[in-house]
Amino acid sequence: MLHLWIEAAGELETDPLTLMEEREKKERGIMGQDQEEGGKTEGQPANMNSQDSMTENEENCVELCTEVEEKGKEKGMEEGELKKEIELEAEVKLELCQSIPGLQMSLIRGTDLFGYVGIEAILDQMKRKTMKAGFEFNIMVVGQSGLGKSTLVNTLFKSKVSRRSNYEEKISKTVKLHSVSHVIEEKGVKMKLTVIDTPGFGDQINNENCWEPIVKYINEQYEKYLREELCVNRKRRIPDSRVHCCIYFLPATGHRLRPIDVEFMKRLGKIVSIVPVIAKADTLTIEERQEFKERIRHDLVANGIHVYPQKEYDEDPEDHILNNRIRENIPFAVVGTDKEHQVNGNKVLGRKTKWGIIEVENVEHCEFACLRDLLIRSHLQDLKDVTHNIHYETYRVRRLTESNMDFGELGLPTWPLENGTRDKCESESHL
């Protein structure tokens, strides 16, 4: 639709009358679409949780029940005749709002429009605004040294976003977190990518509590965001440093989860979205890989570990089916590289060995492409949403209850009602 828009804006300068012509074009397009679909005229009462969300807000108001039945009849498409005749039968029950004097509410569902309005233009408007504002994404990689964490992230984002550790450096005594940010752009979409590395994890002789610095870091980011959100004078856009995704690297032992894996994922699965991957998967044959994955999935379930995408957060049946397919395939077995080689006349990313070239983006060789598609091409926004709507909210609930901060207690002034019913209303809001 974007190109239509630029057309319209350009034409506006020269000839204002063509605005109507554009609309007619669009209307024809929409109506044509509807003709193909056989005219979607059924009201959709099931989708919108209108009833519930209404009752949440105005408890004393009762919305009406409407049965809107529309029968779409289509007349032949004469030249210039673009209207669809729709018969509307609406049964409307109106109940006056009891607590708020002078306010009447009624709710009608599934009203269909007699013609093109232009509401769908909001999608473009939203897209433009978000592209202008840019995006932020924070990804954390956790795993022992030498599992290829930095290489994988560089392969994912096709650039040197993560600094590969210097081989001569000593292994650090504690887990240190190291975050690096870059701005990357693709087709007009700007993204501030932050990669948080965790050198030293799992490298000690005694690895007890090695997850603590990581848990601390994640909670600190939530805390930062919470503080900004609670300010009286808030920023227009609160900078988001919360960890949206944590990739956990499992060494390709071929056996099952180790105690450190279980401990880490158990604890962190509760506060962040974990995506486990099998690192350096080119040491496993396909059969070994399948068995390994099955055993890992079994171990995850046995230990009550929830990894992304979590079953409980599936929003609708479509999501559920899609995510089930993903859940049947995790953890993804990946191979990373930044070197290119010639295969069949094409340049591909791959690792060259004496026995062949492992093509990173070939789904028959490894599952890197699946991981990339999941993380970036299809579920990136969902990762951010899950972090914001679920993990962050969980943290917030915990913090506010800890500090005993219930704003309802302070008697947040409720709306003054007539005839001294204010006291009654205040007491109700405490419930």
Partner 1 sequence: SRIRPLSLAGHVGFDSLPDQLVNKSTCQGFCFNILCIGETGIGKSTLMDTLFNTNFENFESSHFEPQVKLRAQTYDLHESNVRLRLTVVNTVGFGDQMNKQESYQPVVDYIDRQFESYLQEELKIKRSLHNYHDSRVHACLYFISPSGHSLKSLDLVTMKKLDSKVNIIPVIAKADTISKSELHKFKIKIMSELVSNGVQIYQFPLDDETVAKVNTTMNGHLPFAVVGSTEEVSIGNKMVKARQYPWGVVQVENENHCDFVKLREMLICVNMEDLREQTHTRHYELYRRCKLEEMGFKDTDPECKPVSLQQTYVAKRQEFLVELQKREDEMRQMFVQRVKEKEAELKEAERELQTRFEQLKRLHADEKAALEEKKRLLEEDQSSFSKRRAAAQLLQAQSLTANGKKDKDRKK
Q: Which of residues 163-192 bind partner 1 (CB under 8 A)?
A: 181-189, 191-192
Options 77, 171, 230, 321; binder of partner 1; rule CB under 8 A: 230
Q: In this chain, which stretch among 252-260, 289-297, 298-306, 375-383 interacts with partner 1, using CB under 8 A?
A: 375-383
Subset of residues 234 to 273 that bind partner 1, contact rule: CB under 8 A: 234, 236
Sign of the four-CA dihedral 305, 310, 313, 314:
negative
Least distance (Å) between residue 289 CB and partner 1:
24
What element of type H or E holds 27?
Answer: helix 18-36
Residue type, 24: E
Applying CB under 8 A, among 59, 71, 73, 117 the residue interacting with partner 1 is 117
- Give, as one character, the DSSP assignment of residue 255: S
Regarding 65 and contact with partner 1 (CB under 8 A), the answer is: no
* Nearer Cβ to partner 1 (302/412): 412
Minimum Å distance from CB 218 to partner 1?
20
When the beta carbons of 200 and 350 are compared against partner 1, the nearer one is: 350
Tokens of 94: 């109106």
Our CB check for partner 1 shows the closer of 9 and 205 to be: 9
412 binds partner 1 (CB under 8 A): yes
Distance CA 19, CA 411 (A): 53
Residue 22 CB neighbours (<10 A): 15
**Looking at 407, 419, 420, 431, which residue binds partner 1 (CB under 8 A)?**
407
Which residue, 285 or 389, has its beta carbon nearer to partner 1?
A: 389
> Contact region for partner 1 (CB under 8 A) — 151-159, 291-299, 306-314, 329-337?
151-159
Q: What is the 3-state secondary structure (H, E, C) of 169-199?
A: CCCCCCCCCEEEEEEEEECCEEEEEEEEECC
Q: How far is CA 44 from CA 49, 179, 422, in A?
A: 11, 47, 39
| 104 binds partner 1, rule: CB under 8 A | yes
Which of 36, 76, 122, 208 forms a contact with partner 1 (CB under 8 A)? 122
CB of 373 to partner 1, least distance (A): 7
Question: In the range 267-306, which residues lie near partner 1 by CB under 8 A?
Answer: none
CA distance 165 to 146: 9
Give how far Cα 146 sits from Cα of 207, 212, 248, Å.
17, 21, 13
Among 7, 28, 35, 50, binds partner 1 (CB under 8 A): 50
3-class SS of residue 245: strand
Instruction: Report 14-43 residues binding partner 1 (CB under 8 A).
Output: 16-17, 19-20, 30, 33, 40, 43
* Long-range contacts at 117-125 (CB < 8 A, ≥ 24 apart): 118/23, 118/26, 120/1, 120/30, 121/1, 121/5, 123/1, 124/1, 124/2, 124/5
Nearer to partner 1, 85 or 294 (CB): 85
Name the minimum Å distance from CB 191 to partner 1.
Answer: 6
If the CB atoms of residues 17 and 205 are measured against partner 1, the closer one turns out to be 17
Which distant-in-sequence residues (6+ apart) come within 8 Å of 164 by Cβ?
150, 151, 154
Residue 2, beta-bridge partner list: none
Q: How far is Cα 135 from Cα 396, in angstroms, rounded to an integer?
A: 23
CB of 329 to partner 1, least distance (A): 18
Rg, Å, the chain Cα set: 28
Nearer to partner 1, 60 or 290 (CB): 60
3-class state of residue 69 by DSSP: strand
- Residues numbered 316 to 355 that lie near partner 1 (CB under 8 A) are 316, 338
Q: Which of 38, 76, 80, 304 binds partner 1 (CB under 8 A)?
A: 80
Between residue 188 and residue 217, which ones bind partner 1 under the rule CB under 8 A?
188-189, 191-192
**Which is nearer to partner 1, 233 or 419 (by Cβ)?**
233
